[in-house]
Amino acid sequence: MRMQVIIVIRFSYVAEGGFRLSRDGLDAARATLYAPDRLERRFRLFEALTLPSLLGQTDPDFTLAVLVGTDFPASARSRLAQLIAPLRDAHIVALPPYNNYRSTKDALQACTRPEATHILSLRLDDDDALGRDVVEAQKRIAPTVAAAGPADAPAVVCFNNGLFLELSEQGNRLYGVIEKLPLGIGMGMLAQVDARPTIFSTDHRQVHTRWNTYTEALTPRFIRTVHRDNDSGALVSGKRIDYDAAQIDTVLRRHFCHDQASLLALAP
């Protein structure tokens, strides 16, 4: 097995389906996604949360595919290219409006290395953060889960323990969660390179109904932001853990590339 890890981030991508914004039509979605103030908020979260978590991975051997629209503003694309340049293997993939599955599948194929026999496709949004060992853990766990099932069948690994960061004019809040349903942040699917399914083939809350799925609930491995621009509902589906400040400091120090003071100071 020659496995390639590809993390796909959809950065304000104008899609023809798969998002709540898509229901109002492409023109309305484009106007919302490309509004300067909204783009600035996305960049602010990407720079503060997502990018440090990618740069700080204990295993840096992964590919990043950042999916944008072909009409993504030129200045924003230039800024994005500069931000991801320090990563070992990062690409901007520009596509016209497609549905969520086709666009992410095309992004994966655009970055697949010729020598790869299997792709471990990972989900990540542009406003969330991975724990620093997510890539390492995925590479260790996914082949074991795959080997436990039918030959050549896709296998999914997800992480349900992490932090929610609520951004609000009344003050930001950080608290722990252990989700009872599969969570998309850092979720990965291991499949043969020519397989049809990817981690974007179905709703992340439903992957366990289609494929063998391993849920790791002991180690905090995500920070999810809750804010006014969320496309999907950001409600806790499982157990909420109200850590005190010292406990949050410990979780962040052990598992993430972020500090509490900076997260709580982020503008909503």
Cβ atoms < 10 Å from Cβ of 95? 19
Domains in the chain (CATH in brackets) are 3-264 (3.90.550)
Q: What pLDDT is stored for residue 19 in this prediction?
A: 56
Q: What pLDDT is stored for residue 125 in this prediction?
A: 96
Tokens of 20: 């709540």
- DSSP codes joined into one string, the chain: --EEEEEEEE-S---SBSSGGGGG-HHHHHHHHT-HHHHHHHHHHIIIIIHHHHHT-S----EEEEEEETTS-HHHHHHHHHHHTTSSSEEEEEE-S-BHHHHHHHHHHHH--TT-SEEEEEE--TT-EE-TTHHHHHHHHHHHHHHTSSTT--EEEEE-EEEEEE--TT--EEEEEE-SS---TT-EEEEETT-S--TTSS-GGGGGGTSEEEEE-SS--EEEEE-TT-SS-----SEEE---HHHHHHHHHHH-S--HHHHHT---
What phi, psi does 120 have (nearest 5°)? -105, 95
- Looking only at the bridges linking them, the beta strands covering 173-178 and 161-166 are antiparallel
Q: What pLDDT is stored for residue 18 in this prediction?
A: 54
What is the block-wise mean pLDDT of the chain (268 residues), using blocks of 10 residues?
Answer: 97 80 81 96 97 98 98 98 98 96 97 98 97 98 96 95 95 96 96 96 92 96 91 76 97 98 95
Q: What pLDDT is stored for residue 229 in this prediction?
A: 84
CB 46 within 8 A of CB 11: yes
Q: What pLDDT is stored for residue 234 in this prediction?
A: 65
pTM for the model: 0.95
Q: What pLDDT is stored for residue 151 in this prediction?
A: 87
Q: What pLDDT is stored for residue 17 in this prediction?
A: 64
What span, in angstroms and rounded, lies between the C-alpha atoms of 207 and 153? Answer: 13
CB 147 within 8 A of CB 171: no
